[in-house]
């Protein structure tokens, strides 16, 4: 079973959200995946009402503040999200980091807040194109992971990691299955160092960045890829369901047979 997560970003008002769930058809293998949708917070209640008819889809929010309440105009808190129907939260998405200047320290505080309120954090990490060209993929993703690992690894509660190379988000450029596997291996190695084999085996690591119905199966079949975080292609119920209906393919390059 893979995790198929849809990050709607700043799309889908409450009416569009209801329509999405009305049109979402998850027959066949699609219903065997763990399906998550992250609507904008203003559409969360509409999503909870609509998705409530279909217990196969769980909901999350795209961001939280680290405080539970207070004078933070425009923000929402973890307990508010939980009450409104969220079970998951994206933390440190690259748009939060690069457009809104979120720091590793803020990301860590948000992870703590999610933990306090039993939201499952989906912590996003990933390098920019310049960082990749400079050979710094490992350094960057490990720095981002290390900032949250003490909090994540401290209890039994579940968390997920999403590896999303910034250059692949919304660009149509996708990491190759081998690129994704390499980054996932690096992250999993660190999870193992932090919490023993159990942590490394249990934590699902998702790939994100221009995942579409026509490349999802190849990415989901790559070694170490436990799911996908889908932006643009998750806005259409037909393409989201098509991704969820993926079937394993052979991504083996054959090089090791030589
Ligand atoms: P994309 O976005 O699939 O539109 O590239 C992925 C994400 O930002 O989570």
Protein residue closest via CA to atom 6 of ligand 1: 231
Residues 117-162: tens digit of each pLDDT: 999 999 999 999 999 999 999 999 999 999 999 988 888 899 999 9
Is any atom of ligand 1 closer than 6 Å to the C-beta of 211? yes
Q: Is pLDDT at 64 greater than 70 in this prediction? A: yes
Is any atom of ligand 1 closer than 6 Å to the C-beta of 52? no
Residues 2-41: tens digit of each pLDDT: 999 999 999 999 999 999 999 999 988 877 899 999 999 9
254 phi-psi bin (left φ>0, alpha ψ -120 to 50, beta other): left
Residue 136's pLDDT is what? 96
CA distance 150 to 135: 26
pLDDT-derived band at 258 (thresholds 50, 70, 90) equals: very low
**Residue 228, CA distances (Å) to 36, 161, 190 in order:** 10, 10, 20
Helix axes 137-152, 177-202, angle to 10 degrees: 20
Q: What is the pTM of this model?
A: 0.94
CA distance 161 to 228: 10
User: Looking at 44-48, 226-230, 253-257, which range is the least confident one?
Assistant: 253-257
**Active site (annotated) includes residue 164:** yes
Q: What angle do CA 136, 139, 141 make, to 5 degrees?
A: 105
CA distance 197 to 190: 10
Determine the distance separating the centroid of ligand 1 and the alpha carbon of 213, expressed in angstroms.
13
Residue 156's pLDDT is what? 83
Determine the distance separating the centroid of ligand 1 and the alpha carbon of 257, expressed in angstroms.
34
Is any atom of ligand 1 closer than 6 Å to the C-beta of 92? no
Counting residues of the chain whose pLDDT is more than 70, the rounded percentage is 96
Ligand 1 atom at minimal distance to the Cα of residue 208:
6
User: Hey, which of 4, 229, 243 would you mutate to test ligand 1's pocket, going by the most ligand atoms within 8 Å of its Cβ?
Assistant: 229
Determine the distance separating the centroid of ligand 1 and the alpha carbon of 90, expressed in angstroms.
12
CA distance 25 to 72: 39
Determine the distance separating the centroid of ligand 1 and the alpha carbon of 6, expressed in angstroms.
9
Is any atom of ligand 1 closer than 6 Å to the C-beta of 59? no
Residue 256's pLDDT is what? 39
CA distance 125 to 165: 8
For residue 201, count other CB atoms closer than 10 A to its CB. Answer: 10
Q: Is pLDDT at 104 greater than 60 in this prediction? A: yes
Q: Is pLDDT at 255 greater than 50 in this prediction? A: no
Mean pLDDT over the full length of the chain: 93
Determine the distance separating the centroid of ligand 1 and the alpha carbon of 216, expressed in angstroms.
13
Q: Is pLDDT at 251 greater than 90 in this prediction? A: no
Residue 252's pLDDT is what? 63
Token representation of residue 29: 């293998």
Is any atom of ligand 1 closer than 6 Å to the C-beta of 206? no
């Amino acid at each position: 079973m893979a995790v198929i997560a849809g990050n709607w970003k700043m799309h889908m008002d409450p009416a569009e959200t209801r329509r999405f769930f009305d049109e979402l058809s998850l027959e066949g293998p699609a219903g065997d995946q763990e399906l998550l949708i992250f609507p904008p917070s203003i559409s969360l209640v509409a999503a909870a009402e609509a998705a409530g008819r279909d217990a196969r889809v769980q909901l999350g929010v795209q961001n939280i503040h680290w405080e539970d309440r207070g004078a933070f105009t425009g923000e929402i808190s973890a307990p508010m999200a939980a009450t409104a129907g969220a079970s998951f939260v994206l933390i440190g998405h690259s748009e939060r980091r690069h457009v809104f200047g979120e720091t590793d320290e803020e990301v860590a505080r948000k992870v703590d807040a999610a933990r306090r309120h039993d939201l499952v954090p989906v912590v996003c990490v990933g390098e920019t194109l310049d960082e990749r060209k400079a050979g710094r993929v490992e350094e960057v993703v490990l720095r981002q992971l290390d900032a949250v690992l003490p909090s994540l690894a401290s209890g039994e509660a579940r968390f997920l990691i999403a590896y999303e190379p910034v250059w692949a988000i919304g660009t149509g450029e996708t990491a190759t299955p081998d690129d994704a596997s390499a980054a996932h291996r690096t992250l999993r190695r660190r999870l193992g160092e932090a919490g023993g084999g159990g942590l490394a085996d249990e934590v699902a690591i998702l790939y994100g960045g221009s995942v579409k119905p026509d490349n999802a199966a190849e990415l989901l079949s790559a070694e170490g890829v436990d799911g996908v975080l889908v932006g643009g292609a998750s806005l259409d119920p037909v393409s989201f369901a098509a991704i969820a209906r993926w079937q394993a393919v052979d991504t083996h390059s054959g090089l090791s047979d030589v």
